[in-house]
Protein backbone atom coordinates (compact mmCIF):
# COMPACT_ATOMS: atom_id res chain seq x y z
CA UNK A 1 0.00 0.00 0.00
CA UNK A 2 1.06 3.57 -0.74
CA UNK A 3 -0.20 6.50 1.35
CA UNK A 4 -0.16 10.14 0.30
CA UNK A 5 -0.91 12.64 3.04
CA UNK A 6 -0.32 16.29 3.60
CA UNK A 7 -1.68 19.79 3.42
CA UNK A 8 -2.03 22.67 1.02
CA UNK A 9 -3.45 26.16 1.17
CA UNK A 10 -5.55 28.12 -1.30
CA UNK A 11 -5.79 31.89 -1.50
CA UNK A 12 -8.35 33.25 0.97
CA UNK A 13 -11.75 33.54 -0.68
CA UNK A 14 -11.23 30.40 -2.79
CA UNK A 15 -12.20 27.88 -0.09
CA UNK A 16 -15.63 26.98 -1.49
CA UNK A 17 -14.27 26.45 -5.00
CA UNK A 18 -11.43 24.33 -3.58
CA UNK A 19 -13.96 22.15 -1.70
CA UNK A 20 -15.91 21.64 -4.93
CA UNK A 21 -12.72 20.73 -6.77
CA UNK A 22 -11.58 18.29 -4.08
CA UNK A 23 -15.01 16.62 -4.12
CA UNK A 24 -14.74 16.15 -7.90
CA UNK A 25 -11.19 14.82 -7.54
CA UNK A 26 -12.25 12.33 -4.86
CA UNK A 27 -15.19 11.13 -6.93
CA UNK A 28 -12.94 10.58 -9.94
CA UNK A 29 -10.10 8.96 -8.01
CA UNK A 30 -12.39 6.47 -6.26
CA UNK A 31 -13.32 5.05 -9.67
CA UNK A 32 -9.67 4.52 -10.64
CA UNK A 33 -7.89 1.19 -10.39
CA UNK A 34 -6.17 0.70 -7.06
CA UNK A 35 -7.71 3.59 -5.15
CA UNK A 36 -8.45 2.41 -1.62
CA UNK A 37 -9.16 5.78 -0.02
CA UNK A 38 -9.24 9.40 -1.18
CA UNK A 39 -10.34 12.08 1.27
CA UNK A 40 -9.84 15.72 2.08
CA UNK A 41 -10.71 17.94 5.02
CA UNK A 42 -10.90 21.68 5.42
CA UNK A 43 -9.29 23.10 8.55
CA UNK A 44 -11.73 24.63 11.01
CA UNK A 45 -9.17 27.02 12.47
CA UNK A 46 -7.60 28.00 9.12
CA UNK A 47 -10.33 27.71 6.44
CA UNK A 48 -7.97 28.07 3.47
CA UNK A 49 -5.92 25.02 4.63
CA UNK A 50 -6.86 21.57 3.33
CA UNK A 51 -5.59 18.16 4.43
CA UNK A 52 -5.37 15.38 1.83
CA UNK A 53 -5.25 11.64 2.50
CA UNK A 54 -4.99 8.94 -0.19
CA UNK A 55 -4.34 5.20 -0.13
CA UNK A 56 -3.32 3.30 -3.27
CA UNK A 57 -2.73 -0.42 -3.75
CA UNK A 58 0.79 0.08 -5.10
CA UNK A 59 3.14 2.44 -6.94
CA UNK A 60 1.79 1.33 -10.30
CA UNK A 61 -1.73 2.43 -9.37
CA UNK A 62 -0.41 5.74 -8.05
CA UNK A 63 1.50 6.29 -11.31
CA UNK A 64 -1.65 5.56 -13.33
CA UNK A 65 -3.53 8.05 -11.15
CA UNK A 66 -0.92 10.75 -11.80
CA UNK A 67 -1.39 10.24 -15.55
CA UNK A 68 -5.19 9.95 -15.45
CA UNK A 69 -7.37 12.69 -17.00
CA UNK A 70 -9.13 13.13 -13.61
CA UNK A 71 -5.81 14.05 -11.96
CA UNK A 72 -4.86 16.44 -14.74
CA UNK A 73 -8.29 18.11 -14.69
CA UNK A 74 -8.03 18.57 -10.92
CA UNK A 75 -4.70 20.35 -11.34
CA UNK A 76 -6.19 22.64 -13.98
CA UNK A 77 -9.17 23.45 -11.74
CA UNK A 78 -6.92 24.18 -8.73
CA UNK A 79 -4.35 26.32 -10.59
CA UNK A 80 -6.38 29.57 -10.51
CA UNK A 81 -7.11 29.18 -6.78
CA UNK A 82 -3.67 30.27 -5.61
CA UNK A 83 -2.43 26.97 -4.18
CA UNK A 84 0.59 27.47 -1.90
CA UNK A 85 2.43 25.69 0.89
CA UNK A 86 1.81 22.28 -0.64
CA UNK A 87 3.35 19.76 1.75
CA UNK A 88 2.68 16.20 0.66
CA UNK A 89 4.34 13.03 1.90
CA UNK A 90 4.50 9.60 0.29
CA UNK A 91 4.47 6.79 2.86
CA UNK A 92 5.31 3.19 2.02
CA UNK A 93 4.42 1.25 5.16
CA UNK A 94 6.03 -2.16 5.27
CA UNK A 95 3.69 -3.26 8.03
CA UNK A 96 0.23 -2.10 9.03
CA UNK A 97 -1.36 -3.47 12.16
CA UNK A 98 -4.84 -2.87 13.54
CA UNK A 99 -4.84 -1.32 17.00
CA UNK A 100 -6.95 -2.99 19.66
CA UNK A 101 -7.81 -0.14 21.96
Report the side by side order of strands in the sheet with 2-9: 35-42, 49-56, 2-9, 84-91
> Residue 25: is its pLDDT beyond 80?
yes
In this prediction, residue 93 has a pLDDT band, given cuts at 50, 70 and 90, of confident
Tell me which residue range forms the domain holding 48: 2-91
User: Does residue 70 lie in a domain region?
Assistant: yes
User: Does residue 101 lie in a domain region?
Assistant: no
SS3 category, 7: strand
In this prediction, residue 64 has a pLDDT band, given cuts at 50, 70 and 90, of very high
Q: What is the pLDDT of residue 100?
A: 86
User: Does residue 43 lie in a domain region?
Assistant: yes
Beta bridge partners of 2: 56
User: Does residue 99 lie in a domain region?
Assistant: no
> Residue 85: is its pLDDT beyond 80?
yes
User: Does residue 27 lie in a domain region?
Assistant: yes
Average pLDDT over residues 64-77: 95
Average pLDDT over residues 73-93: 95
User: Does residue 47 lie in a domain region?
Assistant: yes
Q: What is the pLDDT of residues 48-63, one digit of tens each?
A: 999 999 999 999 999 9
User: Does residue 83 lie in a domain region?
Assistant: yes
CATH number, domain of 74, equals 3.30.70.100
pTM (predicted TM-score): 0.87
User: Does residue 74 lie in a domain region?
Assistant: yes
Task: Please count the structural domains in the chain.
Answer: 1
Q: At a CB cut-off of 8 Å and minimum separation 6, what does 49 contact?
A: 7, 8, 9, 42, 43
Amino acid sequence: MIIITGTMEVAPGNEDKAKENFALAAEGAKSERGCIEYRFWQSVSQPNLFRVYEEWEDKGCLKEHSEHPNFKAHGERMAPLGVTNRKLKLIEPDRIKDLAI
